[in-house]
A and B are shown apart, each in its own frame.
Chain A
Amino acid sequence: MTAAAPVAPLSVARPAPALAAVRLAKSFGGLKAVTDLSFELPKGGLHGLIGPNGAGKTTVFNLLTGVYKPDAGAVHVGGQPMTGKKPSEIAQAGLVRTFQNIRLFGDLSVLDNVRIAAGVRARSGLWRSLLRTPLYLREEAEIRARARQLLDVLGIAHRADEIAKSLPYGDQRRLEIARALATRPTVLLLDEPVAGMNTVEKKAMRGLIQSLRAQFDVSILLIEHDMGLVMDICEQITVIDHGVTIARGAPASIQSNPAVIEAYLGVPDEPAPTAGEIGA
């Protein structure tokens, strides 16, 4: 087996949340992209992060995954401080994402895309790989098996040998999720997983996201424009606008929150998000 993700020293009183952001802030030049953002994602939770276009949602993902360094604040994964670490270190700690603008390893096969992710914690280095030692062979077999299994779960096993960039759009999104799950994450960040999908595809994806939690023992944070989906499946929703948290709560309370309605409808230029809108 590959090494397990580092486990947080659990306090007896309250288990550490799977993911916690503490007063995160980031500005680009004069623009404050994110201001004083805090939230906690409990183990096994499924939370949503929504906001109008340009509200800073993807910036939040970039802060959490270490692509940007926050100006202030901290990120904890499973109770471990992650601030200032490289994206690869944060991913190894268990926080893995998908991308809004799909970033697959385009020229490689579907299977290889997932195999790469399944092998990130493999112990065989260059020498073992070149000598094909028993450990290496065992790890390769495990990686292959895990990749196959994930392709099965995501329903794209029949496309294993195709080139990733040649997949239809919906399957590319599935492959991104398969790839992320292959790294054995504790927290999965999904950046607009149903963007550009039709109703049927959306429905399938909704079922899939819900089933992932139990099946892979993973907590999920979701950015989505599709209100229907977010309201349906998320337990808690954080709404940000211009980088500021304007509301937080259960879907029902968000739907009736005047601040949220104003953020979406208040500015005449910005149309309210409708089902199926593709995020810019």
Chain B
Amino acid sequence: MSARATPGVAGAALRSLYPIVIGFTLAYLMQTVVAVSIDDYYSKVLIDIGIAIVLGVSLGIVNGYAGQFSLGHAGFMAIGGYTAAAIVYYGSIKLFGTKAIYGGSLGPGELLLCAGCVAGGALAAVAGWLVGQPSLRLRGDYLAIVTLGFGEIIRVLIKQTDDVVLSEKKVAAASWWSLMDNLGGGFGFIGGPRYIDAKNPFWVWLFVVVVCLVAYRLKYSNRGRQLLAVRENEIAAEAMGIKTTKAKVSAFMTSAFFAGIGGGLYAHELGNSMRPADLGFQKSIDIVIIVVLGGMGSISGAVIAAIAVTLLPELFRSFAEYRMIAYALALIIVMLLRPQGLLGLQELWEVEWRAVGRSIVTAPARLVRWVVTAPTRARAALKAAADRRQEDRS
């Protein structure tokens, strides 16, 4: 019955885990080959892209697959980030006796970072479960509002924590439990070891591969199709025997888990500030943009959008000021013209490029036709309105 009883155990294990091996290889290459051969600036941009991918793809699981709109992704990110930061900072002091970076590549310090990120993800998933309980039973737009409120609550709660991040001496004397309150308050969590920098992108890329793998295997599995069914028609999904509430909650938790990991990575990247103000509504919107633009339900779409959203402000310095305005317009225009997002449910390799090419080639002609026929249509609309008024009067 189970894998153990059959002879192909090794084969099965290999089949189930080989992408992780590839992920390790990729992350290792990014660290040892790419990071050393390119400028630190570009390497840093690459890391930012990686974290944006983790956040975007994870939001895509709940937003794209299950069709549940969450505006609290930054809240989950904050939970994960602060958890990881606290574990790594206070843990380093307790375990290694220093708050500085400890051990080399894959050394004890980095393993603590990994553990911190996973713990942060787990706590974020628990929070996802809590938030999902009331709101996933209700209509979609309530969920948006509740998650928005949730993100704000998280921000307020973190702000209320003690704004002193304890020094090495004090930490040694304090209990683990009492440290939970010293998260830096409104100033942010300052002083932790920054394991991720231009020369050390390993963990970011490892988690990028993990989140993409999870999203991919989920999407093309029975469970993933059930989520899509909920998104497409919740009543029909329930009528076919899918436990829709359970499906939604599990999507929400998976998504929150990786948001937490993204937060943990973000917290340990050199140069990022870990302040409540940076992890508010605006951050959630940044991630929503990635999903909506890339295509709701498309992993490769989210990756492309994450790259674009990270690169644009870098390419055009003046863009920063108009960034949010551009995003806002992009959201509205995409919803009006291509509501499913750039790629929709499709992945890059599933797109029928022939048809896309045709539609791009014919676009000018269609535009011309639209402009030429505009007066006719306007006249028709006016006439219809006049007719209606006439009818009203009679």
Check if B223 is an interface residue, CB within 8 A of chain A.
Answer: yes
Measured as residues with beta carbon below 8 angstroms from the partner, the interface class of chain A is 35 or more
Does A103 lie within 8 Å of B233, measured CB to CB? yes
Check if A92 is an interface residue, CB within 8 A of chain B.
Answer: yes
CB distance from A133 to the nearest CB of B (A): 6
On chain A, the residues within 8 Å of B222 by CB distance are 115-116, 119, 122, 124, 129, 139-140, 143
Q: A46 CA to B53 CA in the complex, in Å? A: 54
Check if A15 is an interface residue, CB within 8 A of chain B.
Answer: no
User: Of B12, B221, B224, B239, which is within 8 A of A87 by CB?
Assistant: B239
Check if A209 is an interface residue, CB within 8 A of chain B.
Answer: no
Does B233 lie within 8 Å of A105, measured CB to CB? yes
Check if A235 is an interface residue, CB within 8 A of chain B.
Answer: no
**CB neighbors of A among B217-243 (8 A):** 217-218, 221-226, 228-229, 232-233, 235-243
Q: A67 CA to B238 CA in the complex, in Å? A: 9
Check if A104 is an interface residue, CB within 8 A of chain B.
Answer: yes
Residue of A nearest to B225 (CB): A116
Does B242 lie within 8 Å of A116, measured CB to CB? yes
**CB neighbors of B among A108-138 (8 A):** 108, 112, 115-117, 119-122, 124-126, 129-136
Does B240 lie within 8 Å of A91, measured CB to CB? yes
Does A112 lie within 8 Å of B228, measured CB to CB? yes
Provided the pairs A88-B238, A104-B236 are in contact, do residues A131 and B17 lie with their beta carbons within 8 angstroms? yes
On chain A, the residues within 8 Å of B15 by CB distance are 132
Q: A53 CA to B233 CA in the complex, in Å? A: 26
Provided the pairs A103-B235, A116-B229, A130-B218 are in contact, do residues A125 and B240 lie with their beta carbons within 8 angstroms? no
Provided the pairs A88-B244, A106-B232, A107-B345 are in contact, do residues A119 and B238 lie with their beta carbons within 8 angstroms? no
Does B239 lie within 8 Å of A124, measured CB to CB? no
On chain B, the residues within 8 Å of A183 by CB distance are 240-241
Check if B178 is an interface residue, CB within 8 A of chain A.
Answer: no
Check if A99 is an interface residue, CB within 8 A of chain B.
Answer: yes
Check if B214 is an interface residue, CB within 8 A of chain A.
Answer: yes
Does A120 lie within 8 Å of B218, measured CB to CB? no
Interface size on B (CB < 8 Å)?
38
Check if A240 is an interface residue, CB within 8 A of chain B.
Answer: no
Provided the pairs A105-B236, A116-B225, A122-B222 are in contact, do residues A130 and B242 lie with their beta carbons within 8 angstroms? no
Q: A133 CA to B14 CA in the complex, in Å? A: 10
Which has the most chain A C-beta neighbours within 10 Å: B232, B237, B239?
A: B239
Check if A41 is an interface residue, CB within 8 A of chain B.
Answer: no
**CB neighbors of A among B46-90 (8 A):** none
CB distance from A121 to the nearest CB of B (A): 7
On chain B, the residues within 8 Å of A129 by CB distance are 217-218, 221-224
Q: A97 CA to B235 CA in the complex, in Å? A: 11
Does A135 lie within 8 Å of B2, measured CB to CB? yes
Provided the pairs A119-B225, A130-B217, A131-B16 are in contact, do residues A65 and B239 lie with their beta carbons within 8 angstroms? yes
On chain B, the residues within 8 Å of A117 by CB distance are 240-241
Q: A134 CA to B11 CA in the complex, in Å? A: 10
> What total count of A-B pairs have CB within 8 Å?
117
On chain B, the residues within 8 Å of A88 by CB distance are 238-244
Q: A119 CA to B243 CA in the complex, in Å? A: 12
**CB neighbors of B among A179-237 (8 A):** 179-180, 183
CB distance from B63 to the nearest CB of A (A): 15
**CB neighbors of A among B11-56 (8 A):** 12, 15-17
Q: A139 CA to B222 CA in the complex, in Å? A: 9
Check if A96 is an interface residue, CB within 8 A of chain B.
Answer: yes
Q: A133 CA to B223 CA in the complex, in Å? A: 14
Provided the pairs A88-B242, A105-B233, A180-B240 are in contact, do residues A134 and B223 lie with their beta carbons within 8 angstroms? no
On chain A, the residues within 8 Å of B345 by CB distance are 107-108
CB distance from B239 to the nearest CB of A (A): 5
Residue of A nearest to B1 (CB): A135
Does A132 lie within 8 Å of B16, measured CB to CB? yes
On chain A, the residues within 8 Å of B221 by CB distance are 124, 129-130, 136, 140
On chain A, the residues within 8 Å of B284 by CB distance are none
CB distance from A9 to the nearest CB of B (A): 22
Does B233 lie within 8 Å of A87, measured CB to CB? no
On chain B, the residues within 8 Å of A108 by CB distance are 225, 228-229, 232, 345
Check if A86 is an interface residue, CB within 8 A of chain B.
Answer: yes
CB distance from A223 to the nearest CB of B (A): 15
Which has the most chain B C-beta neighbours within 10 Å: A92, A116, A121, A136?
A: A116
On chain B, the residues within 8 Å of A135 by CB distance are 1-3
User: Of A107, A131, A140, which is within 8 A of B340 by CB?
Assistant: A107
On chain B, the residues within 8 Å of A92 by CB distance are 241
On chain A, the residues within 8 Å of B224 by CB distance are 129
Residue of A nearest to B239 (CB): A87
Provided the pairs A122-B222, A125-B223, A129-B217 are in contact, do residues A96 and B16 lie with their beta carbons within 8 angstroms? no
Check if B254 is an interface residue, CB within 8 A of chain A.
Answer: yes
Does B239 lie within 8 Å of A97, measured CB to CB? yes
Check if B390 is an interface residue, CB within 8 A of chain A.
Answer: no
Check if B362 is an interface residue, CB within 8 A of chain A.
Answer: no
**CB neighbors of A among B82-130 (8 A):** none
Instruction: List the interface of chain A (C-beta within 8 A of B).
Output: 65, 67, 86-89, 91-92, 96-97, 99, 103-108, 112, 115-117, 119-122, 124-126, 129-136, 139-140, 143, 179-180, 183
15 contacts between A and B (CB under 8 A): A86-B238, A88-B244, A97-B239, A108-B225, A108-B229, A115-B225, A116-B225, A116-B237, A132-B16, A132-B217, A133-B12, A134-B6, A135-B3, A139-B222, A179-B240
Q: Which 9 A-B pairs have the closest CB atoms?
A: A91-B241, A105-B232, A119-B222, A129-B221, A120-B241, A103-B236, A131-B16, A92-B241, A87-B238
